[in-house]
Amino acid sequence: MIKIWTMKKENAGVDKKKQKVTAGQIRVQKDLSELDLPKTMKMTFPVPDDLLNFELEISPDEGFYAGGTFKFSFSVNGNYPHDAPSVKCLQKIYHPNIQADGKICLNILREDWKPVLTLNSVMVGLQYLLLEPNADDPLNKEAAEDLRTNRRNFETNVAKSIRGGSVNGIQYDNVMTH
Amino acid sequence: MKVKVKRWHTVAIWQWDMEDSTDLCGICHGPFDSCCPDCRIPGDNCPLLWGKCTHCFHLHCINKWIETNDSEGTCPMDRQIFEAAT
């Protein structure tokens, strides 16, 4: 008899924990279940039980950044989808819209975020940023100027930087994988 | 022959009166017939709201968005000022 009571109490504890799932978590689960990642993207969960913090690797198969693998961290708060996920680039790369500290300039991560967007929208946006860097909205002004004035030179500089070389005296991370 | 009904058991279902109430709310991605993630019981306490732009959301979902500074009062589908249809 006593055993049954203690079991019941333990089960009640489990139920309470389950009910603590936030609206944000529910929505993230839906986003993740609908994801159909292309072969150029891979997700990893450093803490398996934590769906709100994960990493994404993008390995573009064309464009300036082809050949490299770029790592991004995603952090989703409980107010998602009313707040945008916060996304950072984990490597130091030469890109007009990505700062050396990992800060990313992508419209849907800031002023153009709206709650009907999904994690997939953000991932597609990041992939697009690697395929088509945008010189009009720069975080790295030198890289943007380089892209605007001489596309060929920009291409050479990106190729150098993703192999761990320096551009304008700044060394970048070697991100080549294929 | 006389039949006497001793008892009966009635069952009813409900759904929102709209074209396809199994559609999903664009904000929470839950069905319209279900409630928003902050509610527990679907029905009149968690109603739907249509905008003049014809987009529809759970009332609680669209309110939560409109109340944020970032929304600037716009519909999350078309970025026009969200006005409730009357």
Q: Which of A14-23, A133-142, B22-31, B46-55 has the lowest mean pLDDT?
A: A14-23
Contact B76 A31 (CB under 8 A): no
pLDDT of residue A56 exceeding 90, the answer is yes
**Cβ-nearest to A82 among B68, B74, B79:** B68
Q: Which residues of A touch B (CB under 8 A)?
A: 22-23, 26-27, 30-31, 81-83, 111, 113-116, 118
pLDDT for the residue B19: 87
Share of chain B above pLDDT 70, in %: 100
The separation between CA B34 and the C-alpha centre of its own chain, rounded to angstroms, equals 7
Domains and CATH numbers, chain B: 1-86 (3.30.40.10)
- Which chain B residue has its CA at the smallest distance from A21's CA? B37
- Which chain A residue has its CA at the smallest distance from B36's CA? A23
Rounded average pLDDT over B28-55: 94
Rounded average pLDDT over B17-27: 90
**Rounded CA Rg of chain B:** 18
Closest CA to A144 of A132, A152, A154: A154
**A155/A95 Cα distance (integer angstroms):** 11
Condensed to tens digits (0 to 9), the pLDDT of residues A104-113 reads 999 999 999 9
Higher pLDDT: A51 or A6? It is A51
Task: Name, in order, each residue with C-beta under 8 angstroms of A94's C-beta and a sequence gap of 6 or more.
Answer: A140, A143, A157, A158, A161, A162, A167, A170, A172
pLDDT for the residue A21: 82
The pLDDT confidence band at residue A114, using thresholds 50, 70 and 90, is very high
Closest CA to A63 of A167, A140, A162: A162
> Where exactly are the structural domains of chain A?
22-171
pLDDT of residue A10 exceeding 90, the answer is no
Give me the CATH topology for the region A22-171. Ubiquitin Conjugating Enzyme (3.10.110)
Number of cross-chain residue pairs from A and B with Cβ atoms under 8 Å apart: 38
**Cβ-nearest to B76 among A23, A83, A115:** A115
pLDDT for the residue A92: 97
Contact B27 A26 (CB under 8 A): no
pLDDT for the residue A115: 96
Rounded average pLDDT over A116-145: 95
The pLDDT confidence band at residue A22, using thresholds 50, 70 and 90, is confident
Beta bridge partners of A98: A95, A104
Tell me which chain B residues have a C-beta less than 8 angstroms from the C-beta of A31: 29
Share of chain A above pLDDT 90, in %: 83
The pLDDT confidence band at residue A83, using thresholds 50, 70 and 90, is very high
Q: Which of A164-168, B18-22, B45-49, B80-84 has the lowest mean pLDDT?
A: B18-22
Share the mean pLDDT of chain A.
Answer: 90
**Cβ-nearest to A116 among B37, B64, B77:** B77
Closest CA to B26 of A176, A97, A21, A121: A121
The gap between the terminal CA atoms of chain B, to the nearest Å, is 56
Of the candidates A105, A131, A139, A159, the residue annotated as catalytic is A105
pLDDT for the residue A14: 52
Contact B29 A31 (CB under 8 A): yes
Is this prediction's ipTM beyond 0.90? no
pLDDT for the residue B69: 87
Rounded average pLDDT over A60-65: 96
Rounded average pLDDT over A150-158: 96
pLDDT for the residue A7: 57
pLDDT for the residue B20: 87
Rounded average pLDDT over B14-35: 92
**B86/B83 Cα distance (integer angstroms):** 9
